[in-house]
Structure formats: structure tokens, C-alpha cells
Amino acid sequence: MIAFLQGTRVFQDKDSLILNVQGVGYELYCSQNTLNDLEGKSVLKLWVHTHVREDQITLFGFSSQAEKQLFMSLIKVSGIGPRLAIKILSGARIDSILQMIEEGDVKGLTSLPKIGKKTAEQMILSLKGKLVGLGHPVSTSSSVKGDIRSALVNLGFHPQEVERVVAQLDPQIDFQEGVRKGLSELSQQI
């Protein structure tokens, strides 16, 4: 298994590059963020995932371990293959993707390339709460809103209504105040 490659860029396309490593050219598919991070550098070091299928071996390159870890998490989600995962990583910065997943932001995730509502919901269901170790902590307000959302759903309110109410809350609200305001708003709709 190839863990990383270090070499010089021979050629770059919109979603891949060829890296010369001691006379051997490796084609690596990369997110737009990785390609932007590598711009202007003469010697490139890329973390690598080797994807093996029956009919081909494909290399995917990443400028950071965090991006590779997010990629590895994404390809474990039903319906997301490596090419789609690279498109997702090209659609937003890692921090933004993590925040959308942790907040359950279906609308935000569907704004990413090739992501529909069902795939966004599957991403949230599969990854929410499991991406903490990526070195990009989600802000405290995001985790508080997630806790408020969870509490309201556990009290029996419909998740879509809870999502709408929680999205309108002040980002700096504390848990107790958020649950109280959420209950007040949701109770008026019954």
C-alpha cells in the first residue's frame, strides 16, 4: 500500500496530476482544495489512498492527513464512491463539510457537487459524531445546536420541524435556553 508520495509535478489537469517520483510517473486524482494547496510548490508531498478494483488501480492524493481521513470516511457511506468523494471534497473546505455533517445541514450538503437529498441524509446518518478526530474541531455552537436538535427529536417532535426551529436559534445560545425556546416554538405548531 502506498502511504505517501513525494516528487515533482509533471502535468496537472482539473482533477488530477502526474507526480514524478524518481523517474516513475504516478497519476493521482485530487480535490480542488488539494490542487490549490499545492500551487506554487516545486516539491510535492501527497498522502495517498490506493483504490483497487477488479479492473483497475486508482491513486487518490491529498495535501493533508485530515482530508485523507475525511475521504476514507466518505467512501464508507452507502452510495459514495471514491470519485464522488473527491468531488465532495472539491465542493467546500474540510471544516465546512464537517460542520454541515455535525449540524445535520442537509441543504448545505446538497449544495456540494453531485449530492442529492438522500445522499446528504445518508452522510449525516453515517458520519455525524464520528468525525471528531480529524483535527478540525466543530465550533462549540455547532455541537450545542446538535444537542438541542437531538433533545427535541427525542421528545417526539418531527426532525424536519426541529431542524427548521434550531436553524433559527442564535448561534451563541446555551443548551437549556435553546431547548426551552425550541419547545416553545414547536408547541405552538401543534
pLDDT digits (tens, 9 = 90+) for 71-93: 999 999 999 999 999 999 999 88
DSSP letters for 143-157 = HHHHHHHHHHHHTT-
Residue 61 belongs to what H/E stretch?
Answer: strand 57-62
Domain CATH for 48: 2.40.50.140
What the block records as the C-alpha cell of 188 is 405552538
Please write down the long-range contacts of 150-153, taking CB distance under 8 Å and 24 or more positions apart.
151/175, 151/179, 151/182, 152/179, 152/182, 152/183, 152/186
Domain CATH for 144: 1.10.8
- Give the chain's domain count: 2
Amino acid found at 35 = L
pLDDT digits (tens, 9 = 90+) for 43-71: 999 999 999 999 999 999 999 999 999 99
pTM recorded for the entire structure: 0.70
